[in-house]
Chains A and B, each alone.
Chain A
Amino acid sequence: DAKTTQPPSMDCAEGRAANLPCNHSTISGNEYVYWYRQIHSQGPQYIIHGLKNNETNEMASLIITEDRKSSTLILPHATLRDTAVYYCIVRVESQGGKLIFGQGTELSVKP
C-alpha cells in the first residue's frame, strides 16, 4: 500500500503558485519523498525528490516539514501545461527501485 495521502483534486489559477500537499506520517528516516506527474496517457514525469532538506529545481520546490511527516510540492507559476495528476511517493529503500503509487492529486490549472 502507498504510504502517502493526497487530496484527490485541486484547482489553481494560471500564473499563481500551486501548492500540493502530501502526508506521509509513517515515513522512515532513510526514505526519500519523490514527486512525479502524469499528463493524460503519457508516462509519469519525474519532478523532484528529497530526504530532509527543502529542494528546488527548474520545475518545482519541495518543502519537507521538520518531522518529515508531510511535504508540499510548489509550482511557482502554474501554466495550463501543468494540468496533470501529481503523485507523491515515499520510496521504500529496502525494496530497491519499487515505487508505490497512490491515487495522486489531479491538478487543474484554469485560465
Chain B
Amino acid sequence: KAGVTQTPRYLIKTRGQQVTLSCSPISGHRSVSWYQQTPGQGLQFLFEYFSETQRNKGNFPGRFSGRQFSNSRSEMNVSTLELGDSALYLCASSPVGPGYEQYFGPGTRLTVT
C-alpha cells in the first residue's frame, strides 16, 4: 500500500498570505489528523477529520481550518499567515478511531517570510 502523501513538500509564503496544504491518506483509512511541529513547541495536534466531519480540534486560532472530502483526502488552510506559522505540518491517517495506530506523512515544510 502507498503511504500517506502530502503536497507540496516545501512552501515559502509571505506574511498576510494564505496557504492550503493537501494530504492523501492510506487507501481505506477514514481518519485524518493534522499536526504542527516547531522547534519551540514540539508536535502539536491541530484537528482530526473522520468521514468528512471534524471530530477533534486542538488549541489553535481560527486562522487554521481544514476539511475532508468524500474520498478521505484532506486539506488544511492557514489564512493571514504570521511568521510564527513557519513549521513542519504533518498529516496522519488511520483506519478508524481509537485503538488504531496513525501513520504519518513526510510533512510540508512551510516558511513564512
Residues of A participating in the B interface, judged by any CB pair closer than 8 Å: 32, 34, 36, 41-46, 49, 87, 91, 93, 95-104
Contact = CB atoms under 8 A, between A and B. Distances in A.
B37 to A, nearest CB: 9
A32 B100 CA distance: 10
A49 B90 CA distance: 20
Nearest to A94: B98
A32 B99 contact: yes
B104 A44 contact: yes
Contacts of A45: 104
Contacts, number: 66
B103 A99 contact: no
Interface string B75-101: 000000000000010101010011101
A97 B104 contact: no
Interface of B: 4, 31, 33, 35, 42-45, 48, 50, 55-56, 58, 88, 90, 92, 94, 97-99, 101-107
B44 to A, nearest CB: 8
A103 B37 CA distance: 11
Contact of A101 (B42, B88, B97, B98): B42
A44 B56 contact: no
Nearest to B109: A41
Contacts of A32: 98-99
B111 to A, nearest CB: 13
A96 B43 contact: no
Contacts of A44: 43, 90, 92, 104
Nearest to A101: B43
Contact of B48 (A49, A91, A96, A100): A96
Nearest to B4: A43
Contacts of A96: 31, 48, 50, 55-56, 97-98
B65 to A, nearest CB: 17
A46 B56 contact: no
Nearest to B48: A97
